[in-house]
């Protein structure tokens, strides 16, 4: 290493020096202890959810495994509920529900936001941009819970779809933030030279948008997806608590809802089990999301 290089790379990392935003981000993320711990907790939850999905555990969540309100024991780690169902099984099973809702909503809402945001950004100032911005404003102005209730009511005559009314409402609501972020980024990116070059070469506009510009917003989308994931999980619990959410399955929200009657009788197991698991996942995902945001922020990634 010559002197000039030494000046630029005083700690001698130039051989392994990350080049792209992603490798730089990964490098930075791995050095974030809180981020790594939270990621480990998220992975643990993923493992639990996968185990449920594959039928390794919590298969008896709907069975009457014991008597009414049995206390914590070897047979029932979190006790049983009013009809004798095992609270541990139900709490574990609910992890899968949370991940299902979180993933479906995060992926679809982010994708929708990316597409509409990119179109609005690329054609900024046009009627198309105005239309999408108007749509965002309208949807943003509807109170979320009322919106879910309205969708649930509208879809109730179609049972096959009505059970997804919560998902639909969340996707229709949550894409907006991603859309606004992507729109702003695309407005910036479309002025870049490589886009001008693509134009000059006669590349069709949709190819420029989706092949050349959109991939460069991936770091925003990834962070936004994790934020949406957490928001979806929290919303699912709230909506299920209110009776607007999960129907034919189990959820922490339903468990907390059940407990609202049981606490009068001094029985807190449902409440504690659901709350602790929900808290753990939301907290871990929030920290993970923060760490990811820090790691992928282009302004700080070179630090």
Residue ranges binding another protein (CB under 8 A): 62-64, 68, 82-85, 153, 156, 159, 243, 247-248, 254, 257-258, 260-262, 264-266
CB of 245 to another protein, least distance (A): 11
Residue 36 structure tokens: 């790594």
CB of 60 to another protein, least distance (A): 10
Rounded to 5°, the CA angle 86-92-93 comes to 90
CB of 158 to another protein, least distance (A): 12
Tell me if 114 sits within 8 A of 217, measured CB to CB: yes
Cβ nearer to another protein, comparing 170 with 250: 250
CB of 15 to another protein, least distance (A): 58
Tell me if 216 sits within 8 A of 169, measured CB to CB: no
Tell me if 119 sits within 8 A of 178, measured CB to CB: no
C-alpha distances in angstroms, 22 versus 190, 214, 216, 297? 21, 15, 11, 10
CA–CA dist 62, 10 (Å, integer)? 61
Cβ nearer to another protein, comparing 59 with 300: 59
C-alpha distances in angstroms, 208 versus 173, 175, 217? 27, 22, 13
CA–CA dist 37, 201 (Å, integer)? 47
Cβ nearer to another protein, comparing 68 with 211: 68
CB of 95 to another protein, least distance (A): 19
Cβ nearer to another protein, comparing 45 with 69: 69
Cβ nearer to another protein, comparing 126 with 261: 261
């Amino acid at each position: 290493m010559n002197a000039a290089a030494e000046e630029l790379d005083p700690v001698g990392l130039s051989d392994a020096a990350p080049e792209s935003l992603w490798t730089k981000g990964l490098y930075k993320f791995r050095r974030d202890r809180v981020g790594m711990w939270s990621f480990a907790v998220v992975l643990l939850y993923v493992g639990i959810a996968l185990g449920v999905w594959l039928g390794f555990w919590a298969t008896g969540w709907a069975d009457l495994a014991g008597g009414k309100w049995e206390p914590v024991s070897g047979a029932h780690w979190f006790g049983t509920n009013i009809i004798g169902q095992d609270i541990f099984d139900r709490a574990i099973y609910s992890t899968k529900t949370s991940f299902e809702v979180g993933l479906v909503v995060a992926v679809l809402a982010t994708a929708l936001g990316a597409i509409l945001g990119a179109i609005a950004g690329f054609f900024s100032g046009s009627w198309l941009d105005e239309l999408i911005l108007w749509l965002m404003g309208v949807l943003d102005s509807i109170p979320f819970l009322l919106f879910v209730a309205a969708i649930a009511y509208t879809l109730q005559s179609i049972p096959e779809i009505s059970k997804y009314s919560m998902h639909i409402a969340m996707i229709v609501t949550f894409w907006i933030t991603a859309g606004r972020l992507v729109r702003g980024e695309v407005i910036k990116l479309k002025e870049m030279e490589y886009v001008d070059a693509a134009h000059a070469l006669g590349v069709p506009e949709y190819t420029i948008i989706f092949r050349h510009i959109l991939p460069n917003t991936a770091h925003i989308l990834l962070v936004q997806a994790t934020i949406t994931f957490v928001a979806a999980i929290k919303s699912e619990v709230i909506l299920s608590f209110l009776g607007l959410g999960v129907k034919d399955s189990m959820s922490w929200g339903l468990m907390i809802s059940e407990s609202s009657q049981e606490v009068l009788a001094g029985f807190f197991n449902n409440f504690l089990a659901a709350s602790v698991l929900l808290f753990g996942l939301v907290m871990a995902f929030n920290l993970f999301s923060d760490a990811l945001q820090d790691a992928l922020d282009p302004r700080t990634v070179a630090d």
